[in-house]
A and B are shown apart, each in its own frame.
Chain A
Amino acid sequence: MTENIRSFPGTPLSEQDFEEGKILFNYDELNGKFSWDTGIAIGSYLAGLKNGVILGSRCSTCRKTVVPPRTVCEWCFRPMQEYVPLHDTGTVNTFSLCYVTWDMKRLTDPQIPAVIEIDGASPLHGIMHLLKEVDPQKVHIGMRVKAVWKSAEERTGAITDIQYFKPVKEV
């Protein structure tokens, strides 16, 4: 049946068709602006960052410390018992060297996003952040890194209170 179908429907257009006015079109934007409540756990996480501390939370039933903190353990569905201040050091779980921005502008020097397993949290529990002060070619999985904080006066209670992570030892 389908092997005999020669033409499938669909009308491809080129950018030129738009530019030359061959077809009609219009633009619009959603313009969605939001103010999200930070909530209990993330609110406290942000307050911790303002104090220069990365906060996790712990479920003693599952013996698990997670970061960022949350109020409920998704494994056992019991409330988390306590906030746990973690270290501001960690291990690179994975990284990328990114040469484009979200709007596809090219970057000469790559951004280096990474998942960093934070010391004091359970194994494989990390956060996403950026690496700097490092030769992109020398970044590796397993590398030890440390947070570089903004000064206490500059911190506002945001993930960007940590400017970036850098290697513990110079590479």
Chain B
Amino acid sequence: MTMRKVAVIGAGMTKFVRRAQETPKELSWLATRMALESCELTLDDIEAVCMGTAPDSFDGIHMKGEYLSDGAGAWRKPYMRSYVGGGTGVFVPIQGWYHVASGMFDVVLVVAEEKMSNFYPHAQAAFLTIFDHTTERPLGPNLLWIFALEMNRYMTTYGISKEDIARVSVQHKRNAANHPCALLGDPDITVEDVLNSEVLAYPVQRYDVSPVSDGAVAIVLAAEHVAKRLTDKPVWVEGVGWNLDTAHWTNRDLVYPRYVEYAARMAYDMAGIKEPKKEIHIAEPYDPFDYKALHHLEGLQLAERGQAPQLYIDGTAARDGNMPVCPSGGLLGVGNPIAAAGLMKIAELFWQLRGEAGDRQVPGQPRRGIAQAWGDLMQVGTVVIMGR
């Protein structure tokens, strides 16, 4: 099968905030307009639109893909919403990629939006229904359980300390201090701050968790012949992968995200990457909780099992390290408007690889980066590799 080369040529995003005044479609519009302006295109140049947005219940709008369409520039265009839970933000660029790689379209808009503050007063209620309605919900679960259970299994199996994990939160929140859109950037946060924060569901403490947020992100994808005419600095989508594990989450080993590994291997094969640790220069693993970043770095084959904390201890993961991890500030620092947070990672790689990340710029002219998201019921991995 021959597939066309696809480049990211533009990106835009809103601030990530706790409560936005803008409606969900206005947030989408702000990000979309900025993405178009960044590559000097207009809506007339766009042939199709892909929308990524997580559960309808967050925005409180049923069929919100359709609701969001005008803000995403989809008026009278081929349009489709994709949804794989938290993995959506890195899946929707994959959807855009195959729209273009297949030869069907030359220029495609990819938009992701979430307005979680609409869920009021308790955003957690939206997550209750991820638990089985008959065999789990009668126990009165909350979303934190599932993360706390996975985190405890991961820590205990490998003998990883809370302190090791807290370093992730600290570094990401410090990185976010340089991101103009960040909700929780903090240049002065320390490991002690994380360890002293309120215990919500042992081993999860407040600063282990990313904030509920509102925001939108958009990127523009173009086929090679178009991208080369429009920009001197296209950033190529070199590999994509996605994979789903069993829906019976209590029937599998929570220590290791096999589904992320499979998604990563698919993407590495496509990109011709044999030694990920050497060939990936920037990693943006999904970090809704700090331990998840470690979990995912292992699934992405960027660390041996149980060894990911070492990347933060020896400085490899620092912005000026050998393989910076979440130079954006990640979900922990920039914020977590679910689908938009994943696409933010793609936008970050775009800016980093073009050398346009400003105060967040990773030194040494990085050539290749990987972004990953995760979601559904602890079971989906979505991966995109980008290079210049």
Contact = CB atoms under 8 A, between A and B. Distances in A.
Interface of A: 1-3, 5-15, 23, 27-28, 30, 34, 36, 38, 42, 45-46, 66-68, 70, 74, 93-104, 110-111, 113-115, 124-130, 141, 158-160
A34 B133 contact: yes
A144 B11 CA distance: 53
A124 B135 contact: no
Nearest to A29: B60
A100 to B, nearest CB: 5
A129 B358 CA distance: 49
A27 B31 CA distance: 26
Contacts of B150: 94
B293 interface: no
Centre residue among B17, B57, B145, B214 by max chain A CB count within 10 A: B145
Interface stretch (B19-27, B84-92, B99-107): B19-27
A127 B141 CA distance: 13
Contacts of B142: 98, 100-102
A102 B140 contact: yes
A102 B143 contact: yes
A135 to B, nearest CB: 13
B122 A104 contact: yes
Interface of B: 11, 13-22, 27, 30-31, 34, 38, 57, 60, 62, 120-122, 124-125, 128, 131, 133-136, 138-145, 148-150, 152-153, 156, 180-181, 198-204, 214-215, 246, 248, 250-254, 351, 354, 356-358, 361
B18 to A, nearest CB: 7
Contacts of A141: 152-153, 156
Contact of B253 (A10, A27, A38, A124): A124
Contacts of A8: 13-15, 34, 180-181
